[in-house]
Amino acid sequence: MLLGTATQAMQNAYAPYSNFHVGAAILTSDGHLFTGCNVENASYGLTICAERAAIFNAVHQTQGKLVLRAVAVVNGNDVPCSPCGACRQVIAEFGANTAVIFRGQKDYVEMSISDLLPETFRLT
Ligand code: THU
């Protein structure tokens, strides 16, 4: 279900430079869904990944009280694609036990964010 929602979100990707379309769907601890897609820019470094777009949208929609339960990510090329390091750090910020579902080497896999990003940087 979360993967289907992420696939719908992927349709909105703005990726004219890489042509790599990504969609993300997140499930909050209280059962709400939020989505995001990657948004690229001619100044390449300003690109934002689908995962962070979804999470930042959700922070706004939950009045800053976001707690993540799961994050799913899909891509239009159906190739292995786990969240980048920056997205892992942002996912960890909003839920140390978040389940992350992504396309692994063969099929979709689920891993906890604590396994994907051990020794997460925290200030609290
Ligand atoms: N991208 C994501 O949106 N999420 C990922 O997990 C990996 C990479 C985007 C960023 C850029 O727009 C494109 O994919 C190619 O790197």
3-state helix, strand, coil split of the chain in percent (to 5) is: 30, 25, 45
Ligand 1 cavity residues, CB under 6 Å: 15, 18, 20, 22, 38, 40, 47, 49-51, 73, 81, 83-84, 87
Query: Residue 119 C-alpha to ligand 1 middle, in angstroms?
Result: 23
Q: Looking at ligand 1, which atom is closest to the CA of residue 47?
A: 12
Domain ranges of the chain: 2-116
Class of domain 2-116: alpha beta
Q: Provide the residue-wise pLDDT of the chain in tens; the chain has 124 residues.
A: 999 999 999 999 999 999 999 999 999 999 999 999 999 999 999 999 999 999 999 999 999 999 999 999 999 999 999 999 999 999 999 999 999 999 999 999 999 999 999 999 999 8
- Our CA angle for 16, 48, 99, nearest 5°, is 120
Q: Is the whole model's pTM more than 0.95, yes or no?
A: yes
